[in-house]
Chain A
Amino acid sequence: MTTFLRETSIVFRRQIRMNLRQPAWVLIGVMQPVLYLVLFGPLLEPLVSQFDTSSDNAYTFLVPGLLVQLGMFGAFFAGFSLIGEWREGVIEAERVTPANRSALLVGRLTRDLLQLFVQALILVGLGYAMGLRGSVGGIVLGIAITLLVGGACAAASNALALTTKSEDVMAPVINVVMMPVLLLSGILLPMTLGAGWLQRISDFMPFRYIVDAVRDVFAGDLGASTVMWGTGWAVVLFALAMWWGTSVFRKENA
């Protein structure tokens, strides 16, 4: 175990060092949710009281959705840097060392999670400045759920990257996956506004429960059944994606 942690931290520190050389990417990644917050938030202000949600504050409603979106979208692009590394032979070079295969993945995921954590703080801080109010414990828990989702998406993205080994394949796959996820998760507007059939479809979208859960914990409703469901889904997705990612990194491990 100590070897695993040591190897993970070597990989993590190497990744962070490269990220810090291009800090602009952390900000570019957070730009999209910030734009939603600033340019879409005001549109919600007069509408939010009509939503059947636990809060009448537009920003307490919107920020949790944007957090989950950040966790999904931001992390999904993590795999692109892995393709670059693979192409330059870095992954192979790491795979001929005795280092644990999972450590090679987990070290990279830790970087993705740290980056996501910084972005989440920026988003929540900005949301607070614009009027978000919620329970501190709930916000902490909400960010924790976001990190789980982000970890799942980053692991899946890394697995996809190492399977396809091509940005040209990755980009359309991510688009195809992300659009329905975005539209059916109630990130921008609650799904409860929709017609019955639309709600039924969204019932099959795990991310929807996660968005609901983060929204409820932000509003201070930590005991709601949605929180249990959302957290459960986040854990399940995280476990599945980790299993996938690890098996791809272990592939052909003679």
Chain B
Amino acid sequence: MQMIEARGLTQTFHTGQGRKKTPVHAVAGVDLDVAEGEVVGFLGPNGAGKTTTLRMLVTLLRPTAGTATVAGYDVVRDSVQVRRSIGYCSQVGSTFSGAYAGDEVVDHGMLYGMSRKDAVEHGHELFDRLQLEGLWRRMPKNMSGGQKRRLDIAMALIHRPSLVFLDEPTTGLDPQARANLWDHIADLRSKQGMTVFLTTHYLDEADALADRIVIIDKGVIVASDTADNLKANVSGDLVDLEVSSDEQVAVARDKLGSLSDSVEVEGHHVRGRVSRAGKVVPGLLRDLESAGVGLDSIEVIRPSLDDVFLTLTGRSLRDADEAGGESFDPDAPEGDK
């Protein structure tokens, strides 16, 4: 079963003052398919339309045009059924800083129609699973960033949804807390069998968690594939050979040049991009050895998703972030920009 199916999903906002309203096409016709049990990373710079797309899928924002079914229900006609089936973890959080964490989770579950007893039991279970033991009567304002994010995930999971949306789950966390949260997100599918749709503007995050990566830029989907395929198709791996003497440089350049059309030489280093380096490098090494070339070092650098983004859009993600700036949705609470 398709858990998410969007066709031509569009959101147009009107910004500006008085009569001079300028339409902003925050999301300009997005098609999206997510299968049951998939973990999909929705990647793009700030302001690309990630959060806006997400808000349409979780029924917080009515699409200007296009359709979407989520968990089998239409987001406009059957919004209540969609809400019952999904969990949503927004960027800004979900709990009041001055309330007890456990109370917030139980009340949230009860708004989904759970009995108090069921909500309390499942809440405690989630606290254990998400390493929040002992924090039931702690206020979010006294929690660390990582604990607060895990509490938000507990909020999103309290009613046992089969599909969960995570909006920028690790923004603003320190590296350790991030790695920890990644483990918990990975568990959602591997241990709970859930479908996970997460937005991020971190490449390593999409790389580490997602089966498939959907890249959005300026409101349009520009790519959708596994991280490996995206990288293989777009740029190839960087192979860096360090030879031991000057005269070997030319030989190494020829050998690498037969596999790559972009060879550079810098001192004793010979570099070139090679597609699927894992397959061809052993042969290359044999060739070099039989040609009498001794290597001081060899490095194979997998392309990053940043390379992918650069190839697809002509800009690096970091530059796009600086240029993109604002999130367009005037109704969304402000996230970490």
Contact = CB atoms under 8 A, between A and B. Distances in A.
A98 B84 contact: yes
A88 B62 contact: no
B92 A254 contact: no
A85 interface: yes
A239 to B, nearest CB: 26
B263 interface: no
Given A97-B112, A254-B56, A88 B97 contact: yes
Interface string B122-153: 00000000000000000000000000000010
Interface in A1-38: 3, 7, 10-11, 13-14, 17-18, 21-22
A8 B62 CA distance: 25
Nearest to A162: B331
A153 B305 CA distance: 53
Contact of B110 (A10, A86, A93, A252): A10
Contacts of A22: 98
Contact of A88 (B76, B92, B110, B112): B92
B107 A10 contact: yes
B95 A90 contact: yes
Contacts, number: 93
Given A98-B113, A252-B331, A254-B61, A88 B93 contact: yes
Tier of interface size on chain A:
20 to 34
Contacts of A254: 56, 59-63, 75-76, 79
Interface string B89-125: 0111111111100011001101111000000000000
Interface in B251-292: none
Interface in A91-126: 92-99
A92 B165 CA distance: 13
B111 A10 contact: yes
A37 to B, nearest CB: 31
Given A92-B333, A98-B80, A18 B112 contact: no
Contacts of A10: 107, 110-111
Given A89-B333, A254-B56, A98 B92 contact: no
Contacts of A14: 99, 103-104, 107
A96 B88 contact: yes
Contacts of B84: 98
Interface in B54-96: 56, 58-63, 75-76, 79-80, 83-84, 86, 88, 90-96
A253 interface: yes
Nearest to A10: B110
Given A17-B103, A254-B60, A92 B111 contact: no
Nearest to A21: B98
A93 B108 CA distance: 8
B90 A97 contact: no
B58 A96 contact: yes
A200 interface: no
A1 B182 CA distance: 42
Nearest to B97: A88
Contacts of A86: 333
B92 A87 contact: yes
Most interface-central of A21, A84, A252 (chain B CB within 10 A): A252
20 contacts: A10-B110, A11-B111, A14-B107, A18-B98, A85-B96, A86-B333, A87-B92, A89-B90, A89-B92, A90-B96, A92-B90, A92-B92, A92-B332, A93-B94, A93-B108, A98-B111, A98-B113, A253-B59, A254-B62, A254-B75
Closest 7 CB pairs of A and B: A93-B94, A89-B92, A254-B62, A97-B111, A89-B93, A99-B111, A96-B88
Interface of B: 56, 58-63, 75-76, 79-80, 83-84, 86, 88, 90-99, 103-104, 107-108, 110-113, 152, 155, 159, 331-334
